[in-house]
Amino acid sequence: MKQIFLALTFCATAAYGQSYDTRGTDVLLDDVALAGLILGRELEFFDGGVSRYSAGGSYSWTYSAANGGGNWFGTHDIRADGVVCIDFRTLRSRCDRFVQAGDRLVLLSEDGQRYPVREIR
């Protein structure tokens, strides 16, 4: 039992203790600033995908038809440090950080990728 607890603690710490590959010019957003930018709106990315973060905590990601189409659903939580964690219905989860890079909002993934937001509607 102790080994299972330690393993779960390590996994939780790894996900929530993630450091993101920010650049010197990136502006970090706290929970209040981020919520004002993304809640109740659609974020379209350059690959045509669209994320939706509802004020009630639901989340959806729609892939563009060019990328095979499809949807992922789950719930999101915006932490005080501005990191957004998503728990998908598929039992997968991830945490992302948004930064302001010049006049563009950019999603930083746990694996070091940068996804600029094309449009916020």
Domains within the chain, CATH numbers bracketed: 2-120 (2.40.128)
Q: What is the pLDDT of residue 68?
A: 81
- Give the pair of three-digit tokens for residue 82: 């501005």
Q: What is the pLDDT of residue 69?
A: 84
pTM of the model: 0.81
Q: What is the pLDDT of residue 9?
A: 36
Q: What is the pLDDT of residue 17?
A: 53
What are the mean pLDDT values of the chain's consecutive 10-residue runs (121 residues total)?
Answer: 37 54 94 97 96 97 85 96 96 96 96 96 95
- Strands, E, within 1-121: which ranges? 27-28, 41-45, 50-53, 58-63, 70-78, 83-88, 93-101, 104-108, 114-120
From CA 111, how far away is CA 6, in angstroms rounded?
23
Q: What is the pLDDT of residue 18?
A: 64
